[in-house]
A and B are shown apart, each in its own frame.
Chain A
């Protein structure tokens, strides 16, 4: 009986169900394609010196992960979280404490070395636990109060890590973290060696981290996509649109919001664990309020609630903030030197030199980019279709009401 109604499932059926006219599908396909060709392309373009860029791309992947996680809290459930970096810090420090020699010099006197793969899960649970602990007493607060509590938490966590120097080495941070290791891996001509099976493959090469990041991102994106369509995801969106109505429909708003908070936090912990392993160093300065705000910018600028939008937003902000603006001073002074305006690079009187002057302009440029993008596209670069329609309809209705009342 069930055979008659069950739709045909199989590789073919799965492929045929993809709607290629959907803009999101195209974005996903483009992103995946770019991610696959990126290392090769970069190495080709730079003549084999592109490892630094591949490494930067892996770091950008961390921020994409963070933005995806914050999108669950802010975009799906509509809860404003201004202290998201706190969970990032908790994940990173979980890895740093449990996968380095740090605990040997603390009152515990025993170093702990747990494998990276296990700690990824541990970091997820620890971050989710802290998310739930913070959320449980505060989620009944009105929206903005919640934002403020998270802001406070985000300020507290890095400071606690900085001040508890006996355990965390304070401002110096914890360094020389364990290298993630795979028990077995296949190597071959693509890595410049004969085809063989390697034991204990170590993640040292940035390209290896990049590949790992892309693989993790693919899994996470599929997961979040399904989460969005699940009963829980729909409950989040119901709460976002109208909490009272959602409660009237039988949604347990407190539990649902708590889950959004904890799940969002767990993504941050996951990203933190990866970040610690890749950098092999965690320090309290890497988790300040600016990080929380940057992640929020990525989510809002990309298009809240829309997964590919958030990914594009995260990549755009990362490239602008951490690559273009960071390297702009040296590029500008290099360019000036190349076209014969090298004298501009010399400081003279009140003129600090072209590179330095550009350095001073960075704040201004970044601020202008934020304000202008937001003014031109208040709904984000790639807004969620559903929300866009809702917003458009809401404004037309409102303006109609205005006309009628006038």
Chain B
């Protein structure tokens, strides 16, 4: 009996599991997406698709930070979602410092100003995250495994507390700087220029980041550390520096995600990172935690699932659907969509 169960499990986790997932995805497409496309029109479908991709691009930027940190020190960094929110909050005063005002700024001033805001915020948040790592995680590197998890929760509370003190408990308006033009597709359906801009910025960042990881010396060191920390140490890689770099890069991407979120949704709140962080983390696991292209893909898929279930099912069921998909993926394909099979250490 138990033997049979094990065999069923073993088959499920293998190629058959992937096949089951594919069939399930196909069923959803045939029975949920297609009827809605027929009844509500292709234009609306494309509109939702654009929204989902833009939303997914933001999740992808956050998910990369989770995956980077997990890949190197196997820590579920609960504070990462709040680092993302902090990015949005820190960029707010910078926007006004560069004279970027809603409805008045445009052209070269807007582009260069935003570029400067992006760069400064990313640098600041990156350094903040390095400091957090130094204070809260590094002293606990040889402690019981759950200790850094708890300090991560603590850091999450601290970051939220700081933003709460700074801006209060309510929604804060974020200037709507991006052009509000919409590109019509069919009557009643259109793609926002914002959607396109958000996706382009995110794709650019992810592209630069993967280039850094695959080509640069430091990127190579990071990949080596993720594979085998001790061996990397023996090869003369500075482990502390590499881990700090992972936190820096993760925060840089999250900060960019925070600014993009603000520009896209025009409203931020101190506890925003809690929910977004949880979903972005799901995205990272979905793509195969520790796997960089996987996190980007996972973010996109989660964004799409959320957009389509908001539009075609009901928004209050979206999170249930996302987490149910997460459980299904882990049951049928434990390594995530793009993950490799890793032996238990």
- Let me know if B323 and A156 touch, CB within 8 A: yes
Q: Which of chain B's residues has its CB closest to A376's CB?
A: B139
Could you name 8 residue pairs across A and B whose Cβ atoms are closer than 8 Å? A80-B146, A142-B344, A148-B281, A159-B320, A297-B153, A360-B169, A371-B136, A374-B150
Residue B342 lies at the interface, judged by CB distance under 8 Å to chain A: yes
Instruction: Looking at the assembled complex, report how far the CB atom of A377 sits from the nearest CB atom of chain B, in whole angstroms.
Output: 9
Residue B129 lies at the interface, judged by CB distance under 8 Å to chain A: no
Residue A400 lies at the interface, judged by CB distance under 8 Å to chain B: no
Please, which residues of chain A bring their CB within 8 A of the CB of B162?
A: 364
A residues 183-230 touching B (CB-CB < 8 Å): none
- Let me know if A374 and B278 touch, CB within 8 A: no
Comparing A90-98, A133-141, A259-267, the segment that makes contact with chain B is A133-141
- Let me know if B76 and A371 touch, CB within 8 A: no
Instruction: Looking at the assembled complex, report how far the CB atom of A127 sits from the nearest CB atom of chain B, in whole angstroms.
Output: 18
CB-CB contacts of B146-186 with A at 8 A, as 1s and 0s? 11011101111111111011001100000000000000000
Residue A347 lies at the interface, judged by CB distance under 8 Å to chain B: no
Chain B residues at the A interface, C-beta cutoff of 8 Å: 2, 6, 9, 12-13, 70, 74, 76, 78, 135-136, 139-140, 142-144, 146-147, 149-151, 153-162, 164-165, 168-169, 278, 281-282, 285, 289, 316-317, 319-320, 323-324, 326-327, 330-331, 334, 342, 344
Assembled-state Cα–Cα distance A160/B331 (Å): 21
Q: Which of chain A's residues has its CB closest to B339's CB?
A: A145
Which of these, B12, B165, B320, contacts A360 with CB under 8 Å? B165
Please, which residues of chain A bring their CB within 8 A of the CB of B158?
A: 363-364, 367-368, 371
Which of these, B147, B155, B289, contacts A300 with CB under 8 Å? B147
A residues 46-73 touching B (CB-CB < 8 Å): none
- Let me know if A378 and B143 touch, CB within 8 A: yes
Instruction: Looking at the assembled complex, report how far the CB atom of A222 sits from the nearest CB atom of chain B, in whole angstroms.
Output: 27
- Let me know if B161 and A370 touch, CB within 8 A: no
Number of interface residues of A (CB under 8 A): 53
- Let me know if B323 and A152 touch, CB within 8 A: yes
Please, which residues of chain A bring their CB within 8 A of the CB of B156?
A: 367
Residue A301 lies at the interface, judged by CB distance under 8 Å to chain B: yes
- Let me know if A398 and B316 touch, CB within 8 A: no
Residue A31 lies at the interface, judged by CB distance under 8 Å to chain B: no
Given A363-B160, A364-B161, also A374-B323 (CB < 8 A): no
Assembled-state Cα–Cα distance A138/B169 (Å): 38
Which of these, A155, A378, A395, contacts B278 with CB under 8 Å? A155
- Let me know if A364 and B320 touch, CB within 8 A: no
- Let me know if A375 and B136 touch, CB within 8 A: yes
- Let me know if A368 and B143 touch, CB within 8 A: no
Residue A304 lies at the interface, judged by CB distance under 8 Å to chain B: yes
Chain A residues at the B interface, C-beta cutoff of 8 Å: 74, 80, 137-138, 140-142, 144-145, 147-149, 151-153, 155-156, 159-160, 162-163, 243-244, 252, 254-255, 289, 293, 296-297, 300-301, 304, 360-371, 374-375, 378-379, 387, 391, 395, 398
- Let me know if A255 and B2 touch, CB within 8 A: yes
Which of these, A152, A367, A379, contacts B144 with CB under 8 Å? A379
- Let me know if A152 and B9 touch, CB within 8 A: no
Which of B12, B151, B153, B344 neighbours the largest number of chain A CB atoms within 10 Å of its CB?
Answer: B153
Given A300-B150, A371-B151, also A391-B144 (CB < 8 A): yes
Instruction: Looking at the assembled complex, report how far the CB atom of B86 sits from the nearest CB atom of chain A, in whole angstroms.
Output: 13
Which of these, A152, A153, A160, A374, contacts B282 with CB under 8 Å? A152
- Let me know if A149 and B330 touch, CB within 8 A: yes
Which of these, B70, B164, B169, B323, contacts A155 with CB under 8 Å? B323
Please, which residues of chain A bring their CB within 8 A of the CB of B317?
A: 159, 163
Instruction: Looking at the assembled complex, report how far the CB atom of A369 sits from the nearest CB atom of chain B, in whole angstroms.
Output: 8
Please, which residues of chain B bring their CB within 8 A of the CB of A80?
A: 146
Please, which residues of chain A bring their CB within 8 A of the CB of B157?
A: 363-364, 366-367, 370
- Let me know if B331 and A137 touch, CB within 8 A: yes
Assembled-state Cα–Cα distance A254/B7 (Å): 13
Given A152-B326, A367-B157, A395-B142, also A160-B150 (CB < 8 A): no
